[in-house]
Structure 1
Amino acid sequence: MTEFIGEMIGTMILIIFGGGVVGGVVLKGSKAEGTSWVLISFGWGLAVMLAVYAVGKVSGAHINPAVTLGFAMVGEFPWSKVPKYLSAQLIGAFIGAIVVFFHYLPHWKETEDKGAKLAVFSTDPAIRSPLSNFVSEIIGTFMLVMGLLFIGANDFTQGLNPAIVGLLITAIGMSLGGTTGYAINPARDIGPRIAHYVLPIPGKGTSDWRYAWVPLFGPILGGIYGGLFYKAFFVNDLMVAFWVFTVIILAIFLTAARKELKKANNEDVQSSRANA
């Protein structure tokens, strides 16, 4: 098996199990309908674990463009392989989403909620505020790449690493995933979003392309900065790129905070006037 096929199959497995658990929770008529965010977080963690077990020895099981780019930025992965990995991940995610569509065939028409149908394929925010949602994706993916590098720096019993990686995904989902659904993976969101767009899903709504830039660029920025931060503080390799990305991320965070605080203050003023 080639690295390209490995990444494609690994990402396909990720989406089959990950999108599958979301479908079980949100689609009408499923025996898991209405269960909790905890189940979804564990489902995605197990999805990653099984994907890593499947193809880790073939391709390293990045199964995520943010991981590939983050590792490449700090010299942990050759740039020459990046295009191959990114394309394999996107194709695998698209195929995985199609498999999920077939798995839940009778449930699409039973589900009236168009947002629930889209949620099986891609992420959406709990509170729509794109810049703040972008910040959440940066933070989640920053912790993902940092966590992967922490795990790689430790010695575990042979075969245990994928399980630890799965627990990392579960932890991110439970702690940080409630804001945006924690894409933390551009392929995981964009590939299935394309599938949602092209598939003949009964009663589906828009694929919400206006939001798609958040789970695309947020994880990329967070993944790259996670790798640079690890290099700077844990390997004592302070790269110029670290300072560049630090300035960019600080500017984004401060702008998002200013926007949200201004919005909150305006709402307080309006509420006070209404009660006067």
Structure 2
Amino acid sequence: MNPYQAEFFGTLLLILLGDGVVAAVILKHTKSENAGWLTIVIGWGLAVTLAIYAVGPHSGAHLNPAVSIALAFQGSFPWQEVPAYCLAQLLGAFSGAVLVWLFYFPFWQKTNSAEVKLAVFCTAPAIRSPLSNLFNEVLATAVLVLALLFIGANAFTEGLNPLVVGLLIISIGLSLGGTTGFAINPARDLGPRIAHFILPIYGKGSSDWSYAWIPVVGPIIGGLLGAGVYQMLF
């Protein structure tokens, strides 16, 4: 498996399991309907852990354009690899979202709210305030990248790093995720949003393109900020 295939497959797996847990909790008549935010956050943390275990040895398991760009800025990843990594991540996220749509196919018709259906695929703010929402995504992603660099600087028992990163995602989700849904990953939000726009989802509404720039721009800025802080302090 080459690095680009790995990033595609890893991000596909991330979205299949991550958007999958969202669908399980918020779509009508699933066995885990109304299981709550904690279930979603833990599900995302486990999705990240499994995806890193799956492809980490092949690509480094960035799974996130903000991480690829930040690592290139920090000097530990070549800039010339960034476009192909980002494209593979976006395509993987799109493909994972398509699989989620197929997996939960009978449940779209049982769910009346177009807003809920969109929430399976991508993020939306709890309170719509563009500057505040942008700040939330910037800060949460800065924490993500800074923490990833901290984790990389420490020696763990072999094979433990993906678990630590999964716990990091859970921590960010619980502490900083309640405002915007913690996209912290442009591909994670944009790829499934494009899937929502294209797919013939029963009863879907708008894909909310007016908000879509925030979970793309915010994480990129935040990733650069996190890498910059790490370089200044360490």
Q: Give the TM-score taking structure 2 as reference length.
A: 0.99
CA distance in 2, matches of 1:48, 1:110: 29
Gaps of 5+ in 2: none
Alignment of 1:114-263 (within 5 A): 114-234=114-234
**Secondary structure of the equivalent of 2:40?**
helix
Aligned: 1:20 with 2:20: yes
CA distance in 1, matches of 2:144, 2:30: 31
- Structure 1 residue aligned with 2:69: 69
Deviation for aligned residue 1:36 = 1.2
- Structure 2 residue aligned with 1:102: 102
CA distance in 2, matches of 1:151, 1:29: 40
Q: Percent identity?
A: 59
What do the CA deviations read for 1:12-53 (whole angstroms, capped 9, x no partner)? Answer: 000000000000010001111111111111000000000000
The code of the aligned residue for 2:25 comes to V
Deviation for aligned residue 1:131 = 1.0
Deviation for aligned residue 1:76 = 1.2
For the pair shown, the structure with the greater C-alpha radius of gyration is 1
CA distance in 2, matches of 1:76, 1:228: 13
CA distance in 2, matches of 1:50, 1:115: 29
CA distance in 1, matches of 2:179, 2:114: 20
CA distance in 1, matches of 2:76, 2:140: 20
- Structure 2 residue aligned with 1:271: none
The code of the aligned residue for 2:73 comes to M
Gaps of 5+ in 1: 235-276
- Structure 1 residue aligned with 2:59: 59
**Secondary structure of the equivalent of 1:167?**
helix
Moved >3 Å (runs of 4+): none
Q: Give the TM-score taking structure 1 as reference length.
A: 0.84
CA distance in 1, matches of 2:201, 2:29: 16
The code of the aligned residue for 2:88 comes to A
Deviation for aligned residue 1:10 = 0.4
**Secondary structure of the equivalent of 1:210?**
coil
Q: Matched residue pairs, number? A: 234
Deviation for aligned residue 1:203 = 0.3
CA distance in 2, matches of 1:231, 1:181: 28
CA distance in 2, matches of 1:216, 1:103: 26
The code of the aligned residue for 1:157 comes to T
- Structure 2 residue aligned with 1:41: 41
Aligned: 1:6 with 2:3: no
CA distance in 2, matches of 1:21, 1:180: 17
Deviation for aligned residue 1:115 = 0.8
